[in-house]
């Protein structure tokens, strides 16, 4: 968030902090005098109550609940800087263990192994602040690897490009702009919301630094067909006499697919997959911000990008955009990996998938919705509203906000902007009881939107599992009331990704 300077006469009236403060506190100017820590705590704490409730925030993929023991570990390590390697060598050890566990989870070949004997050196990786940083690092590695290969062949190395679906998360657009790489987007269609493989191959040429596959899409939760991309790219590379890697953006799916779809080939089992990112703070089940990037082998990370940093008495290899960062999230990631183990992660993911499929089935049975994502890939439900309804997804999202639910509505990426959807991200914390209440609240909201506020007068109690699906009352055969709302224009592609898609 970029913050702007504003006139400084504004004050925080002591409405916040209750009785603790007797005089106003300047809003945009540092106060002249210190205040009691209890008062300051109350002031900040009370003001933050204006935020949405994280537990009801079904827009975010980011973890909002952890074990109390994890909370404790994070509080205990909040004062550690992860970059102070010499001072906190055990934190470094925990990061190394996490990278190793993830490399194995993603089937990175052992050193010297791999298809065609192409893997010289074991997998390498690092913790990042999130998938965005991980993606910038992976993108840079692809760009430098491409440039080195071109230089070695005496070929020009201007105008690199990267091929990806138009449904990529905004961080890919940022990477392309910040690091001067032409983004080549495969447009979506009205019934394909992920990358099209032949369409992607048509964009690949000898200036392509890499192809991106997403596991799964931020927009719908669907996995992209990465094995198909891999096979098609093999053929395209053979045709053009080039060697183009795939990077898998597994921001969410990297902690889902290994447990729910272990047979799915999307990772280093595929020869063209050279790097993978995953957000520890999404289905890795850690509070923000931690991410990970893993390269298939040390060869995939050009050595010029790795800095040897002499700092506080030691010398260490570092590849990252940030220098200082909190150690607590790395510690918490390690805690989760050992606390849950593979079986624990599997059980969590199965429970989330069950909840997602329950919500999807209920929404489908309700009538006005067409399901786009049913929780069969990521535990995400995504649906559109039937065109014949007198309301759209934006109105329904607003209506649900009245009950505290934060369920984003947004338009698909180009060229499917005509399709607007509502998305529910199922995370730990959304219990089956809460999901049942959500379904009930959706039905009540639909009834209000169809029949006006009076439909609110007779709320139906939340139903329990096994009872018939919730349906908003609608007189049989009655035409939809109120006519169709005009939809807002889609946001401009140039600078904006769809709001709410995070
Ligand atoms: C597919 C995908 N890639 C990248 C990101 C960015 O991840 P982070 O928020 O960890 O930086 C997201 C965030 O939702 C995502 O869904």
- Classify strands 409-411 and 246-249 as parallel, antiparallel or unpaired: unpaired
pLDDT tens profile 14-27: 556 666 677 788 88
Among 56, 52, 51, 53, smallest CA distance to 424 is for 56
Query: Three-state SS across 155-212?
Result: CCCCCCEEEEECCCCHHHHHHHHHCCCEEEEECCECCECCCCHHHHHHHCCCCEEEEE
pLDDT average, residue stretch 304-309? 88
| Tokens standing for residue 134 | 């991980």
Among 247, 246, 255, smallest CA distance to 279 is for 255
CA of 62 to the centre of ligand 1 (A): 9
pLDDT-wise least confident of 11-20, 30-39, 254-263, 294-303: 11-20
pLDDT average, residue stretch 271-288? 98
pLDDT tens profile 33-49: 999 999 899 889 988 99
pLDDT tens profile 401-429: 999 999 999 999 999 999 999 999 999 99
Residues framing ligand 1 (Cβ under 6 A): 61, 130-132, 169, 171, 214, 218, 249, 251-252, 279, 291, 502
Among 368, 105, 67, smallest CA distance to 255 is for 105
Which of 281, 311, 336 finishes a domain? 336
Tokens 């529910």: give the residue.
Answer: 424
pLDDT grade for 8, boundaries at 50, 70 and 90: low
CA of 251 to the centre of ligand 1 (A): 5
Residues 37 and 120 in one domain: no
Contacts of 100 (CB under 8 A, 6+ apart): none
Q: What is the pLDDT of residue 495?
A: 39
> Which of 130, 253, 285, 333, when mutated, tests ligand 1's pocket best, judged by the most ligand atoms within 8 Å of its CB?
130
Residues 20 and 119 in one domain: no
Which of 287, 310, 336 finishes a domain? 336
CA of 172 to the centre of ligand 1 (A): 9
Q: What is the pLDDT of residue 469?
A: 65
Q: Which residue has the higher pLDDT, 370 or 114?
A: 370
Distance CA 20, CA 67 (A): 33
Residues 199 and 141 in one domain: yes
pLDDT average, residue stretch 288-317? 88
Tally of domains in the chain: 2
pLDDT value at 472 more than 80: no
pLDDT tens profile 145-196: 999 999 999 999 999 999 999 999 999 999 999 999 999 999 999 999 999 9
Residues 201 and 326 in one domain: yes
Whether residue 193 contacts residue 166, with contact meaning beta carbons closer than 8 Å, is answered with: no
Distance CA 296, CA 120 (A): 9
Residues 184 and 245 in one domain: yes
Q: What is the pLDDT of residue 483?
A: 33
pLDDT value at 485 more than 60: no
Among 16, 24, 59, smallest CA distance to 41 is for 16
The whole-angstrom distance between residue 485's C-alpha and the CA centroid of its chain comes to 31
Residues 88 and 210 in one domain: yes
Percent of the chain with pLDDT over 70: 85
pLDDT tens profile 73-106: 999 999 999 998 889 999 999 999 999 999 999 9
Tell me, yes or no, whether 376 lies in a domain. Answer: no
pLDDT tens profile 348-378: 999 999 999 999 999 999 999 999 999 999 9
Whether residue 283 contacts residue 297, with contact meaning beta carbons closer than 8 Å, is answered with: no
What's the CATH number where 205 sits?
A: 3.40.640.10
Among 336, 350, 345, 343, smallest CA distance to 432 is for 350
Residues 37 and 82 in one domain: no
Tell me, yes or no, whether 384 lies in a domain. Answer: no
Which of 303, 336, 369 finishes a domain? 336
Percent of the chain with pLDDT over 90: 76
Tell me, yes or no, whether 231 lies in a domain. Answer: yes
Tell me, yes or no, whether 215 lies in a domain. Answer: yes
Long-range contacts from 373-378, C-beta under 8 angstroms, 24+ separation: 373/220, 373/221, 373/222, 373/423, 375/221, 375/426, 377/216, 377/221, 377/222, 377/223, 377/253, 377/256, 377/261, 378/216, 378/221, 378/222, 378/223, 378/252, 378/253, 378/256, 378/283, 378/425
Q: What is the pLDDT of residue 312?
A: 63
CA of 221 to the centre of ligand 1 (A): 12
Residues 250 and 302 in one domain: yes
DSSP string, 442-479: HHHHHHHHHH-GGGGGSPPPPPPTTSPPP-----TTPP
pLDDT tens profile 45-67: 988 999 999 999 999 999 999 99
Q: Is the dihedral of CA 485, 486, 490, 491 positive or negative?
A: negative
Mean pLDDT of the chain: 89
Q: Which residue has the higher pLDDT, 496 or 34?
A: 34
**What is the CB neighbour count within 10 angstroms for residue 238?**
10
> Which of 193, 251, 499, when mutated, tests ligand 1's pocket best, judged by the most ligand atoms within 8 Å of its CB?
251
pLDDT average, residue stretch 118-138? 89
Which residue, judged by its Cα, is nearest atom 8 of ligand 1? 131
pLDDT average, residue stretch 264-286? 98
Residues 301 and 215 in one domain: yes
Tell me, yes or no, whether 118 lies in a domain. Answer: yes
Phi, psi for 353 (deg, rounded to 5): -65, -40
pLDDT average, residue stretch 241-269? 98
pLDDT grade for 490, boundaries at 50, 70 and 90: very low
pLDDT value at 458 more than 70: no
Tell me, yes or no, whether 469 lies in a domain. Answer: no
Residues 28 and 124 in one domain: no
Tell me, yes or no, whether 343 lies in a domain. Answer: no
- Strands (E) in 9-61, as ranges, are 11-12, 25-26
Which residue, judged by its Cα, is nearest atom 14 of ligand 1? 502
Residues 40 and 174 in one domain: no
Domain that residue 308 falls in: 74-336
Residues 102 and 155 in one domain: yes
Tell me, yes or no, whether 65 lies in a domain. Answer: no
- First and final C-alpha spacing in the chain: 13
pLDDT average, residue stretch 305-331? 86
> Which of 139, 169, 193, 284, when mutated, tests ligand 1's pocket best, judged by the most ligand atoms within 8 Å of its CB?
169
């Amino acid at each position: 968030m970029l913050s702007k300077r504003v006139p400084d006469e504004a004050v925080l009236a002591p409405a916040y902090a209750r009785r603790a403060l007797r005089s106003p506190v300047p809003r945009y100017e540092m106060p002249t005098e210190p205040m009691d820590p209890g008062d300051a705590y109350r002031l900040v704490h009370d003001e933050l109550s204006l935020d949405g409730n994280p537990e009801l925030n079904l827009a975010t993929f980011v973890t909002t609940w952890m074990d109390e023991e994890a909370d404790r570990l994070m509080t205990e390590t909040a004062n550690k800087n992860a970059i102070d390697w010499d001072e906190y060598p055990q934190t470094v050890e925990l990061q190394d263990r996490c990278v190793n566990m993830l490399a194995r989870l993603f089937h990175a070949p052992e050193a010297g192994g791999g298809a065609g004997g192409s893997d010289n050196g074991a997998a390498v990786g690092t913790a990042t602040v999130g998938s965005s940083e991980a993606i910038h690092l992976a993108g840079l590695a692809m760009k430098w690897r491409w440039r080195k290969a071109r230089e070695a062949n005496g070929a020009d190395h201007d105008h690199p490009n990267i091929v990806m679906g138009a449904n990529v998360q905004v961080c890919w657009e940022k990477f392309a702009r910040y690091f001067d790489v032409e983004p080549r987007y495969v447009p979506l269609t009205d019934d394909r919301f992920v990358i099209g493989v032949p369409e992607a191959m048509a964009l690949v040429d000898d200036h392509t630094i890499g192809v991106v596959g997403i596991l799964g899409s931020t927009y719908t939760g669907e996995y992209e067909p990465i094995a198909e991309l891999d096979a098609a790219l093999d053929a395209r590379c053979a045709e053009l006499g080039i060697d183009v890697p795939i990077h898998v953006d597994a921001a969410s799916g990297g902690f889902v697919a290994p447990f729910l779809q272990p047979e799915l080939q999307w990772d280093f089992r595929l020869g063209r997959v050279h790097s993978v990112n995953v957000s520890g703070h999404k289905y890795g089940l850690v509070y923000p911000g931690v991410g990970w990037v893993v390269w298939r082998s040390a060869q995939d990370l050009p050595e010029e990008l790795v800095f040897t940093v002499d700092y506080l008495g030691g010398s260490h290899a570092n590849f990252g955009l940030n220098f200082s960062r909190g150690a607590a999230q790395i510690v918490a990631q390690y805690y989760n990996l050992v606390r849950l183990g593979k079986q624990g992660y599997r059980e969590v993911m199965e429970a989330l998938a069950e909840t997602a499929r329950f919500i999807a089935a209920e929404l489908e049975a309700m009538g006005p919705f067409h399901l786009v994502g049913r929780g069969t890939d990521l535990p995400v439900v995504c649906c559109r509203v039937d065109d014949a309804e007198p309301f759209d997804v934006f109105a329904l999202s607003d209506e649900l906000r009245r009950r505290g639910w934060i369920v984003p509505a947004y338009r698909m990426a180009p060229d499917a902007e005509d399709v607007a959807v509502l998305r529910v991200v199922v995370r730990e914390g959304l219990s089956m009881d809460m999901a049942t209440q959500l379904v009930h609240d959706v039905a009540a909201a639909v009834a209000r939107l169809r029949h006006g506020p009076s439909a609110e007068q007779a709320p139906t109690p939340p139903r329990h599992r096994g009872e018939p699906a919730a349906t908003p009352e609608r007189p049989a055969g009655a035409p939809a009331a109120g006519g169709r709302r005009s939809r807002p224009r889609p946001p401009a592609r140039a600078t904006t990704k769809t709001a709410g898609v995070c």
